[in-house]
Amino acid sequence: MSTLRQVENAMRGEQAPDEPLDFISEPVLGETPQHNVDFVIFKLANSNKDGGVHIPGIDYVIDPRTVTKEKPNGNGPEMIRLITGATSIWAKEQKELDEKYIKKNIRFITFPRGTKFITVPTWDTMQIEFMRHARHNIKNKLRKSGSKTEYEEYDANEKAKALLDKEMLEVEMVALASQQTIEKIKPHAFYLGIKFDDEYGIPKPESRLKAEYMLIAKRDPKRFKETVDSEEVSIQYMIRKGIIDGKIDISKGDGYAYWSGGNRICLLPKTEKPLRTLTELAVTKNKEGREFKEQLKKIVT
């Protein structure tokens, strides 16, 4: 059937142009393109705050580019600003921006109420750079002062590794504790605060003492490792034994410690526990400290 245009063209003696064909393309089925966006995560460091935190996008920090061996603090604190549309966070590189634009476009770092975390897309390079350089960031090695609102860049892999390291240290220290002889356990257990008598004043059996020793190794593996072979541990235990055996007298009431023979050892400050004072004396490298330690080893065996 002819169209209206074809009829009109025929009446004027004109050749009707070819009509374009209506074409509906067949849909091509396939996977929808995925636009993955990576994020950098920041976490509030203050456990008392649960979000609801707003940090102005302005700070004064050390520019790491100016730090040298001769100038460890670079050029001193310099202003950084987080401004919409700016291509740098450093105020010295924002000279093309007027004050009116800056006031209108200054940004805030916001941790929404109810969460300690925020995610910043990697394309927002200015916010990431600002947050890494700001003194609020506890991982910023160049920061010179703290902040009431502190955060850290959160790395899940780093946290997992730290947790694994802690678990491994616990296992190692419990194993080490289990291998110690009772003679080695007693001085260290005393130093770590384990009581040798139960709640009724009855001496604990060696099996219970060792069990509590292993428990301390699990609960505080770092301190356990740092002190297990410490000279201070054995010295403190010898002093305790000397006091219990009556070879060291701290009960005269005149503020001094004495050997059982009557010779004065040292002054005992009222503000410090006698055991602490005598231990510090024994580890001191001066003449009095060396003489006290030598005499202690002779009489406490």
Specify the pLDDT at position 261: 85
Q: Which two three-digit tokens encode residue 81?
A: 């600003």
The model's pLDDT over 95-141, given as tens digits with 9 standing for 90+, comes to 999 999 999 999 999 999 988 999 999 999 999 999 999 999 998 88
Residue 27 lies in a domain: no
Residues 205 and 299 grouped into a single domain = no
Asked if the model's pLDDT at residue 229 lies above 60, the reply is yes
Residues 240 and 206 grouped into a single domain = no
Residues 192 and 263 grouped into a single domain = no
Residues 109 and 123 grouped into a single domain = yes
What mean pLDDT is predicted for residues 85-103? 94
In this structure, are residues 102 and 82 in contact, taking their beta carbons and an 8 Å threshold? no
Who contacts 221 (Cβ-Cβ below 8 Å, separation ≥6)?
Answer: 166, 169, 170, 172, 173, 174
Rounded to whole angstroms, the Cα distance separating 181 from 189 reads 12
Rounded to whole angstroms, the Cα distance separating 297 from 293 reads 6
Specify the pLDDT at position 25: 39
Backbone angles phi, psi at 119, to 5 degrees: -115, 130
Confidence of residue 8 (pLDDT cuts 50, 70, 90): very low
Asked if the model's pLDDT at residue 37 lies above 70, the reply is no
Q: What is the DSSP secondary structure assignment for residue 117, as one 8-state letter?
A: E
Residue 25 lies in a domain: no
Specify the pLDDT at position 250: 92
Instruction: Among 154, 171, 195, give the residue marking a domain's end.
Output: 154
Instruction: Among 126, 154, 182, give the residue marking a domain's end.
Output: 154
Give the chain's domain count: 3
∠ Cα 169 173 174 (to 5°): 115
Residue 1 lies in a domain: no
The model's pLDDT over 249-301, given as tens digits with 9 standing for 90+, comes to 999 889 999 998 889 999 999 888 999 999 999 999 899 999 999 999 888 76
Q: In 142-285, where do the E strands start and end? A: 151-154, 248-249, 256-259, 264-267
Instruction: Among 154, 188, 212, give the residue marking a domain's end.
Output: 154
Rounded to whole angstroms, the Cα distance separating 293 from 55 reads 56
Residues 52 and 123 grouped into a single domain = yes
Burial (Cβ within 10 Å: 0-12, 13-18, ≥19) of residue 226: exposed
Who contacts 296 (Cβ-Cβ below 8 Å, separation ≥6)?
Answer: 235, 238, 239, 242, 282
Domain carrying residue 240: 233-301
Confidence of residue 1 (pLDDT cuts 50, 70, 90): very low
Specify the pLDDT at position 298: 87
- Beta bridge pairs of residue 152: 43
Residues 140 and 209 grouped into a single domain = no
Q: Which two three-digit tokens encode residue 266?
A: 């040292």
The model's pLDDT over 170-195, given as tens digits with 9 standing for 90+, comes to 999 999 999 999 999 999 999 999 99
